[in-house]
Amino acid sequence: MQDLAVDIKITQTEQSRLPQIDFNDIPFGKHYSDHMFVADYKDGKWQDLRIVPYSDFSLSPTTSALHYGQAIFEGLKAFRNEKNPKEVLVFRPEDNALRLNESAKRMCMPELPTEIFMQGLHKLLDLDRKWVPDTQGSSLYIRPFMFATDAFLGMRPSNTYTFAIVTGPAGVYYSKPVNVKVEKEYSRTCAGGTGFAKVAGNYAASLLPAKLAAEQGYDQLLWTDSSEHKYIEESGTMNVMFQINDTIVTAPTVPVEDTILRSITRLSVLEILEGMGLKVEERRVSVAEIIEAAKNGTLKDAFGTGTAVTIAPIASIGNDGEKLELPPVESRTVSAKVKETLQGIQRGLIEDTKGWVYRI
């Protein structure tokens, strides 16, 4: 790769934790690789770029992110090239670097130059490449994040920030199709809010409604627009698509709707679907339309798209206390084909004609 003028100091761990990991048992979000990338923003610039052993941060009690929530993150995955196991493949990382900066702008945080994101990621994965699993269905989950670090309780944007990247091996996120509930009481965001940005607070706002739904047996929520609760927006950590007869419908993201996170998996899936010659409609999708389609048998499929889940089939939709079962997963040939194509590209089995794969 091009060697950009990004100077990163590397301090290696003295003892790798790799021998403690059982790659056949890697639940999502539990294990972290040996190293992390860290950069600090102060005096108006990003500095002290470093890779250090994964360790705790030391924070002031008045760290502003803890009080006022200037905190954003990203999520992406690296895979072992199944045709060349020495090579690590990262899926569309530049898109995550760009989206991080969209989130940063909305939260009044400094943008991070893409070269720093990419060089930090490259050097980190190069160093921890043994952490990329080669077991079926697993990957290395990558979590870049940025938060405000001023030790100051006054209400204003922080002047200092930390950006870091941590990674960890992870198996499949959902082991079976999910049951979702159409949420009509609570909202995670609203027009003019922060829904399009990947900000920590959006998740905080979603925890209570998700917990209440879990008590009723649902795995996830289907968020609806905050003003009327008539239109489906997205799910907790994934955008959603519906197949009505032979047409795929999905809600638009920015710049059309600012309440929906622009999923990179969604964009990839839409391109694959179009390549397969399917009709795709990006438009508002009403709850009534989906319920009617589920009842009259024209709803052939529904699934979520997101890095963590890749493609997650929806088993049932709960609406106003009524539970609608969707067709059996075995019958859903379109989403199965899309998933196979997407995973094939991600794992080096299918040629990457779109420039989505970054190689290390």
Residues near ligand PLP (CB under 6 A): 75, 198, 234, 237-239, 261, 263-266, 305-307
Cis omega (within 30 of 0) on the bond before 255? yes
**For 303, phi and psi rounded to 5 degrees?**
-155, 155
Q: Per the structure block, which two tokens stand in for 336? A: 């199965």
Contact 217, 175 (CB under 8 A): no
Q: Nearest approach, Cβ of 257 to ligand PLP (angstroms)?
A: 12
Residue 300 DSSP SS3: strand
- The nearer residue to ligand PLP, 232 or 238, going by C-beta atoms, is 238
Q: Where are the alpha helices (DSSP H) in the chain?
A: 64-68, 93-106, 114-127, 200-215, 264-275, 287-296, 333-346
Q: Nearest approach, Cβ of 306 to ligand PLP (angstroms)?
A: 3
Q: Per the structure block, which two tokens stand in for 104? A: 């940063």
- The nearer residue to ligand PLP, 158 or 307, going by C-beta atoms, is 307
Strand partners, 183: 223
Q: Nearest approach, Cβ of 268 to ligand PLP (angstroms)?
A: 8
Cα–Cα dist 330/351, whole Å:
26
Cα–Cα dist 229/236, whole Å:
16
- The nearer residue to ligand PLP, 33 or 305, going by C-beta atoms, is 305
Q: Nearest approach, Cβ of 188 to ligand PLP (angstroms)?
A: 8
Q: Nearest approach, Cβ of 236 to ligand PLP (angstroms)?
A: 7
> Which residues of the chain form beta strands (DSSP E)?
9-10, 35-42, 45-53, 71-73, 76-80, 88-91, 139-148, 161-170, 178-183, 220-224, 231-235, 239-244, 247-250, 279-282, 285-286, 299-306, 310-319, 322-325, 357-359
- The nearer residue to ligand PLP, 8 or 267, going by C-beta atoms, is 267
Q: Nearest approach, Cβ of 309 to ligand PLP (angstroms)?
A: 8
Q: Nearest approach, Cβ of 310 to ligand PLP (angstroms)?
A: 9
- The nearer residue to ligand PLP, 112 or 261, going by C-beta atoms, is 261
Count CB atoms within 10 A of the CB of residue 220.
24
- The nearer residue to ligand PLP, 69 or 75, going by C-beta atoms, is 75
